[in-house]
């Protein structure tokens, strides 16, 4: 068992906690709104609880969407993306061609043709 002291906001969301294992936790140095004795699973998952009418109630939070929204796709943005992709493709083709020449030169050296 665990002892937990906590404060909540006006909606019952837990905003501050203090607690620990029953055998080891000392009482807090300051006042808290609520006190509960809970099992280990509840103690570890306390962020998914609220205090409603004085009772600790499980109410899992929805994950927040932290990614910024994508700008709308326009013909201009598609044209710019296409231009960038073509540029990357040209660079990759040049790199592949240079690698092919290097491989051919190494093959000539290995096979004794020299340079």
- Residue ranges per domain, the chain? 2-58, 71-115
- Rounded CA separation 47/3 (Å): 15
Q: What per-residue confidence (pLDDT) applies to 113?
A: 67
Give mean pLDDT, residues 39-47.
Answer: 93
- In this predicted structure, the answer to whether residue 105 has a pLDDT above a threshold of 60 is yes
Q: Which of 62, 44, 47, 39 is nearest to 14 (CA)?
A: 47
Q: Which of 69, 17, 27 is nearest to 47 (CA)?
A: 17
Q: What band does 16 get if pLDDT is binned at 50, 70 and 90?
A: very high
- Rounded CA separation 54/8 (Å): 11
- In this predicted structure, the answer to whether residue 97 has a pLDDT above a threshold of 80 is yes
Backbone angles phi, psi at 93, to 5 degrees: -65, -40
Q: And the tokens for 59?
A: 């109410």
Regarding pTM above 0.75, the answer is no
- In this predicted structure, the answer to whether residue 114 has a pLDDT above a threshold of 60 is no
Percent of the chain with pLDDT over 90: 76
- In this predicted structure, the answer to whether residue 63 has a pLDDT above a threshold of 90 is no
Mean pLDDT of the chain: 91
Q: Which of 30, 7, 5, 31 is nearest to 18 (CA)?
A: 5
């Amino acid at each position: 068992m665990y002892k937990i002291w906590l404060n909540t906001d006006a909606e019952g969301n837990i905003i501050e906690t203090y607690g620990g294992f029953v055998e080891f936790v000392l009482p807090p140095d300051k006042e808290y709104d609520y006190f509960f004795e809970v099992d280990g699973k509840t103690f570890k998952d306390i962020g998914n609880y609220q205090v409603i009418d004085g009772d600790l109630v499980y109410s899992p939070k929805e994950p927040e969407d932290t990614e910024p929204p994508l700008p709308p796709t326009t013909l201009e943005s598609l044209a710019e993306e296409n231009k960038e992709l073509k540029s990357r493709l040209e660079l990759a083709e040049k790199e592949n061609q240079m690698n092919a020449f290097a491989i051919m030169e190494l093959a000539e050296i290995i096979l004794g043709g020299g340079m």
